[in-house]
A and B are shown apart, each in its own frame.
Chain A
């Protein structure tokens, strides 16, 4: 089982709709989770981080974490064409002591159609 799994998509939604991106992880002791956005040909940029079970909202973005199910998601409300990008889920995996390694999924390609 891969450490971080995402549906590679593409996920296509109409402008104004809610886009739902999902991610599962295998290391049960993982404690911090990140969503990065990566435009084609660009480097990843951080959108959201979440550490506790439940929802965390930031503008049009909501991250949801369920540690019991080892599941983290990102909701984008009122999707805009400018949201079209690859969304990378990243999980901090403990590797001993206080050292962590950020492990990325393959990413989900989101296309928002005008």
Chain B
């Protein structure tokens, strides 16, 4: 079974530029998550999708971050404009159903973003 795919793996941009990340979840997984992991910290949930609807985006900085999951499969996360503090690893994860109490999340390899 193929895992969660993400691209690009690395990205270097200058502040105030825009950037987009792509994620393809495990086939059949209804729930997709975007996490931000700053160096030395645990992953922090940015947004959770159930199929193509948003379940939780309470920690997404909506003035600069946006995300969509068209057709309930692939997802893109965009930052515009980027700030220095956005330098982090952006992890995409997926799970089978609705993020229930015992549901396992499977992580992709992440995109490492450096904002100069």
**Contact residues of A with B, CB < 8 Å?**
4, 8, 31-32, 34, 42-46, 49, 51, 88, 90, 92, 95, 98-107
Cβ contact of A98, chosen from B100, B105, B107, B109, cutoff 8 A: B100
Cβ contact of A43, chosen from B45, B101, B109, cutoff 8 A: B109
Contacting pair A105 B42 (CB below 8 A)? yes
CB distance from B71 to the nearest CB of A (A): 23
Interface of chain B, main secondary structure: loop
Contacting pair B107 A95 (CB below 8 A)? no
**Contact residues of B with A, CB < 8 Å?**
33, 40-45, 48, 55-56, 91, 98-102, 104-110
- List residues of chain B with CB within 8 A of the CB of A95: 56
Residue picked from A42, A43, A45, A49, most chain B C-beta under 10 Å = A43
List 30 A–B pairs whose Cβ atoms lie within 8 Å, in order of A's numbering. Answer: A8-B40, A31-B101, A32-B101, A32-B102, A42-B109, A43-B91, A43-B107, A43-B109, A44-B107, A45-B107, A46-B104, A46-B106, A49-B102, A88-B43, A98-B100, A99-B98, A100-B101, A101-B48, A101-B99, A102-B45, A102-B105, A103-B45, A104-B42, A104-B43, A104-B44, A105-B42, A106-B40, A106-B41, A107-B41, A107-B42
